[in-house]
Structure 1
Amino acid sequence: MPDSKFFDLQINGYYGVDFNQDDISAADLLSACAALERDAVGGVLVTIITDDIARMAARLTRFVELRATDPLIQRMIAGFHIEGPFISTQVGYVGAHPVEHAKEASWEEMALLLDAADGLTRIVTLAPEQDPDQDVTRRLVKQGVIVAAGHTNASINQLDACLDAGLSLFTHLGNGCPRLMDRHDNIIQRALSRADRLNFGLIADGAHVPFFALKNYLQIAGIDRTFIVSDAISAAGCGPGLYPLGDQEVLVGEDGVPRAEDDSHLIGSATTMQRMAENLRQHVGLTSVEIDRLTRVNPRRLMGLAVPPPTRLAVKTNGVKNGAHPATAP
């Protein structure tokens, strides 16, 4: 039953298929969706990353067209997560996104992307400092789109201004930032200081965030305000090799981690949601109930979807506690 499966709010590709290619075919997309279903995923947000606005719009339009061609594709793709182009241009914070296309937010350009997505945009990730008057944030929220901070070095005041305008989520906490930052005044600490107002996406592959740090983040933010994303690229479900992401080619080593050629940053993940769930059990010590909330319940609640009870419930209670925050996911 699809509702008993994982729900992934950030996925760039799967099983050899890159979702940021201009010429993705119906057959390739169907193959990726079939692989996701096989791997116990019940729904995803296809993530379109920073590029020229016209190319981003064309990719969104293509997905809208392909989604209508097959019931499995339609069932699997619940909508879009538009990550960029209104993100930081600073080294480290821009991550794997092409810096030449990162820019300050413009409602005219955002509206082009929304129109191309034909009402299927569910999340937009932007850097609060790239929306200085919070106009784009307010307009997106008014249209029912979740606004997430990500690939950002927003000051605490810039973060608060966007929160007041309706920002409610933080994209892949602990990533989209440099390896070396101020030990205290950094974007991770700023975001966690607002854990009573934000929901946090986390990548549980052990490479993006060490498991001990992941456990710390879960304890601070609370299970009810966090969720797991794969941030998978086309290498997910495959093995070591060279894989596409937009105009880039990404090398996945024997350790299964996609890295930049100079090892300066990671480029998405090659880890399935199944593996991430097992990581949470083995390396973070979570119970089946907690894992279910992070990988199935919380993502669906954020999307406003009904969440039927799981098929199996664990009775262990020795995992990470729920933290100080009540269940406040929409």
Structure 2
Amino acid sequence: MAIDQTTSNQDTIDNGAIDLQVNGFAGVDFNSDSITIDDIHQAFESLRACGVAKILATIITDRFERMKSRARLLVQAMHRSEVVAQVLAGVHFEGPFISPVPGYVGAHPAESVLTATADKALQLVDCCEGHLRLVTLAPEQDAAAAATQALVDSGVVVSAGHCNPSADQLDRAIDAGLSMFTHLGNGCPLELSRHANVIQLALSRAEQLYLCFIADGVHVPFFALKNYLRAAGVERSIVVSDAISAAGCGPGRYSLAGQPVVVDANGATWCEDRSHLVGSAMTMSQACANLRDALGYDESTIRQLTRDNALAAVPAILS
């Protein structure tokens, strides 16, 4: 399903990629407090030109009120821009209810991580005015899965991510309605126990969870990604971009929520000290090409991984 930029708007809507994790695009950071609705409009024009039908704009961990303010601006843009209304399917909060432990917290600021409560979860629902679609949280940060239950009862999909739950904690969250795992293979330390680790735990629950992967060859080497997809099954797997403002722009210096990001010649998105990756510079058309050229998938399977499974996992995207 590799789509060139000459694809018509209707073809894009009917056949384009669905991306559940977009932090920014074409020089615009959705996690910046200085962007305007015009900036957001231009980013969504570029997304549509790259063959993307729908996205979830992703707000990462920051001060709680700041996160809500950023979501409100995106909702305002939906009301004021036709292209944003067409392409933006809703908001994805990745945090703040994630693990603060180094490695698991990833590029998120640990000082802004919060313990999940039903009240805080419902504040996220309210600020999106009916457009919250997905929340990524750590099950071990959600006592008795109360926040998970409140979100699911409000029609929001809940995903595990940036986490290290026990099997019991993950199963408790699944029982409360958690149904996805965010960018598996990332959001965890570089070195883990060989067998007893969060990746193996998530794969063991693949019949109950949709598992998301970043298919840029940087976050997960292609040989490992092929193993993960085989273990999870393509019918339970979703490819996302985890795009930041650098996506579609090439090497250079960018930012995510005020954090400097250096994109190298290979498209890897590094923090300044090169200790960890910060989102991705990949577009979904590049992801489709990688699935075809590096992993050997046919067009039907690529469509399943980049569109159909996302729609099955988050049906409200088309509402």
User: Gaps spanning 5+ residues in structure 2: where?
Assistant: 1-9
> Which of the numbers 290, 312, 316 marks the counterpart of 2:301?
290
Worse-matched range after superposition: 101-110 or 2-11 = 101-110
Residue 206 (str. 1) matches residue 214 (str. 2): no
| Correspondence for 1:176 | 187
> Counterpart amino acid of 1:259?
W
> What SS does the aligned partner of 1:68 have?
helix
Given the superposition, is the C-alpha separation of residues 306 and 146 from structure 1 closer, same or farther in structure 2, using an over 3 Å criterion? closer
> Counterpart amino acid of 1:91?
P
Residue 60 (str. 1) matches residue 71 (str. 2): yes
Question: CA–CA distance in 2 between the matches of 1:46 and 1:143?
Answer: 19
Question: CA–CA distance in 2 between the matches of 1:294 and 1:248?
Answer: 30
Deviation at 1:306, TM superposition (A): 9.1
Question: CA–CA distance in 1 between the matches of 2:217 and 2:179?
Answer: 25
Residue 10 (str. 1) matches residue 21 (str. 2): yes
> Counterpart amino acid of 1:34?
E
Deviation at 1:303, TM superposition (A): 2.3
Q: 1:266-308 CA deviation, whole Å, 9 max, x = no partner?
A: 100001100111000111111111001111111122222699x
Given the superposition, is the C-alpha separation of residues 209 and 298 from structure 1 closer, same or farther in structure 2, using an over 3 Å criterion? same
Normalized per residue, the structure richer in helix is 2
| Correspondence for 1:250 | 261
> Which of the numbers 113, 117, 133 marks the counterpart of 1:106?
117
> Counterpart amino acid of 1:279?
N
Question: CA–CA distance in 1 between the matches of 2:296 and 2:54?
Answer: 26
| Correspondence for 1:216 | 227
| Correspondence for 1:324 | none
> What SS does the aligned partner of 1:255 have?
coil
Structure 2 matches for 1:1-330, cutoff 5 A? Answer: 1=10, 2-304=13-315
Q: How many residues align?
A: 307
Deviation at 1:256, TM superposition (A): 1.1
> What SS does the aligned partner of 1:153 have?
coil
Given the superposition, is the C-alpha separation of residues 47 and 256 from structure 1 closer, same or farther in structure 2, using an over 3 Å criterion? same
> Counterpart amino acid of 2:120?
E
Q: Is the 8 A contact 2:41 2:77 kept in 1?
A: no
Q: Is the 8 A contact 1:223 1:290 kept in 2?
A: yes
> What SS does the aligned partner of 2:135 have?
strand
> Counterpart amino acid of 1:110?
A
Question: CA–CA distance in 1 between the matches of 2:200 and 2:240?
Answer: 20
Deviation at 1:221, TM superposition (A): 1.1
Q: Is the 8 A contact 2:260 2:272 kept in 1?
A: no
Q: Is the 8 A contact 2:133 2:316 kept in 1?
A: no
Deviation at 1:108, TM superposition (A): 2.1
> What SS does the aligned partner of 1:86 have?
coil
User: Gaps spanning 5+ residues in structure 1: where?
Assistant: 308-330
Question: CA–CA distance in 2 between the matches of 1:130 and 1:112?
Answer: 17
> Counterpart amino acid of 2:284?
M
Q: 1:114-173 CA deviation, whole Å, 9 max, x = no partner?
A: 111111111100000000211001111111111100000111111111111111100000
Q: Is the 8 A contact 2:121 2:150 kept in 1?
A: no
> What SS does the aligned partner of 1:301 have?
helix
RMSD: 1.2
| Correspondence for 2:7 | none
> Counterpart amino acid of 1:48?
I
> What SS does the aligned partner of 1:10 have?
strand
Q: Matched residues, percent identical?
A: 50
Given the superposition, is the C-alpha separation of residues 306 and 9 from structure 1 closer, same or farther in structure 2, using an over 3 Å criterion? closer
Question: CA–CA distance in 2 between the matches of 1:235 and 1:282?
Answer: 23
User: If the length of structure 2 is used for normalisation, what is the TM-score?
Assistant: 0.94
Question: CA–CA distance in 1 between the matches of 2:16 and 2:156?
Answer: 24
Q: 1:237-289 CA deviation, whole Å, 9 max, x = no partner?
A: 00111111112111111111101222221100001100111000111111111
| Correspondence for 1:311 | none
> What SS does the aligned partner of 2:98 have?
coil
Q: Is the 8 A contact 1:53 1:113 kept in 2?
A: no
